[in-house]
Structure 1
Amino acid sequence: MRLSTPAGVPVRRFGAGDSVEELTRLLHRAYADHAAAGRVFFASYQSVRDTEYRLSRGECWVAVSGGELLGTVTVSAPHALPDGYPGPAPAGSFWQLAVEPSQRGAGLGHSLLALAESRSAALGSTRVVIDTSEQATDLVGWYRRRGYTPIGTWRWDVTNYDSTVLLKELTGARAADGRGGDAAAGG
């Protein structure tokens, strides 16, 4: 399946011919600002092997234009959550939503978010649970403006911060086709 963002950037599934190394470098660049601010997002330092593992746990989608990797998100079907995690189980999820820093503000992040929600619904999820650093107030606000509600906090053992856990119910046309909202902070 191939899709396109409003800006015309093609989005497709990560495939056998794609470079895990290149994807890892994109994640490092996309999360570098957070690391520089002292928030050690796993994506800011994960190894190629870590990227491979995370790819094996969901559907990875990439935005590619002119052979250049511009963005990514990995989506999972409804699954159990860790014991104590403050989200309803099972729930769909996505992770490592990332946009090449030079592409921020063009709507790519919003398009990848809409894709993640649409794919979550297609995979059988009625809700999505995600988390991000509670210190990343810009990101928490970006998700809140797109209908996500904070429902608790969580601490992963691979980060140096508490995460805000956010929930969104996937209902109606938005869940079915991924429409809605305007572009902002995430791209």
Structure 2
Amino acid sequence: MLTIRPLATSDCLNELTALLHTSYASLAAQGWNFTAVDQPVHVTRERLAGAQGFVAELGGRLVGTVAVRGPKPAGEAYIGDPSPPLYTTPGTAILSQLAVHPDCRGQGVGERLIDAAEAWARAQGFAQIALDTAEPAAALRRRYERRGYITVGGVQWQGKTYASVLMTKALSAC
């Protein structure tokens, strides 16, 4: 049975980082060097700092993850780059590091992880949730659009082989 739960301090960040690498390998094969493709464990830890992580667990094995946090303080870097204004806007939660093990894709794991992240953001009183993804990743963009996310801008992260779109979704009170 699949369980979605908050990331616990007892969860192994080495295992979580390996899950990110495995989950993002298909994107790397398309030439997109997402940070999660090869980030070291210390970057996983940094990306989770100040965030609420969630994991999907199946039979005692981590098969998915997502992180969500509030807005970054103005001037705080985002993976080495200045944060785009959207990510520093009060009332904005930021969704990141969504990953589902390839063996578990197509089973609703990603949707349940996003549901958990959005519910957390709503419960914290955030008015909207934002994310970025590769502009050429049409399937990923469509996935978010089906959930009500709209493209509100773009960004070129330093060292990335692709331009990113910034997407946001209003969070209702219920």
Number of aligned residue pairs: give it. 166
| Contact in 2 for aligned 1:73/1:116 (Cα 8 Å) | yes
The gaps in structure 1 that reach 5 residues or longer are 1-7, 174-187
CA distance 1:74–1:148, change in 2 (3 Å): same
What CA distance in whole angstroms lies between the structure 1 residues aligned with 2:17 and 2:83?
29
Match of 2:166 in 1: 165
What CA distance in whole angstroms lies between the structure 2 residues aligned with 1:22 and 1:120?
25
Match of 1:176 in 2: none
1:61 matched to 2:61: no
Aligned pairs (5 A) from 1:141-160: 141-160=142-161
Match of 1:114 in 2: 115
| Contact in 1 for aligned 2:68/2:96 (Cα 8 Å) | yes
Match of 1:27 in 2: 20
Q: Tell me the alpha carbon deviations over residues 51-72 of structure 1, each in whole angstroms, 9 at most, x when there is no partner.
A: 1111213011111122110100
Match of 1:129 in 2: 130
What CA distance in whole angstroms lies between the structure 2 residues aligned with 1:118 and 1:79?
19
CA distance 1:29–1:80, change in 2 (3 Å): same
Amino acid in the other structure paired with 1:145: R
Answer with 116-125 or 142-151: which moved more.
116-125
Q: Percent identity?
A: 37
Structural RMSD (CA): 1.7
| Contact in 1 for aligned 2:51/2:70 (Cα 8 Å) | yes
How far residue 81 of structure 1 moved from its aligned partner, in angstroms, is 6.0
What CA distance in whole angstroms lies between the structure 1 residues aligned with 2:61 and 2:112?
17
What CA distance in whole angstroms lies between the structure 2 residues aligned with 1:168 and 1:69?
27
Amino acid in the other structure paired with 1:110: E
Q: TM-score of the superposition, structure 1-length normalised?
A: 0.83
Match of 2:84 in 1: 85
CA distance 1:135–1:23, change in 2 (3 Å): same
What CA distance in whole angstroms lies between the structure 1 residues aligned with 2:167 and 2:64?
22
| Contact in 1 for aligned 2:134/2:165 (Cα 8 Å) | yes
| Contact in 1 for aligned 2:4/2:112 (Cα 8 Å) | no
Match of 1:10 in 2: 3
What CA distance in whole angstroms lies between the structure 1 residues aligned with 2:66 and 2:157?
19
Match of 1:99 in 2: 100
CA distance 1:79–1:107, change in 2 (3 Å): same
What CA distance in whole angstroms lies between the structure 2 residues aligned with 1:158 and 1:18?
30
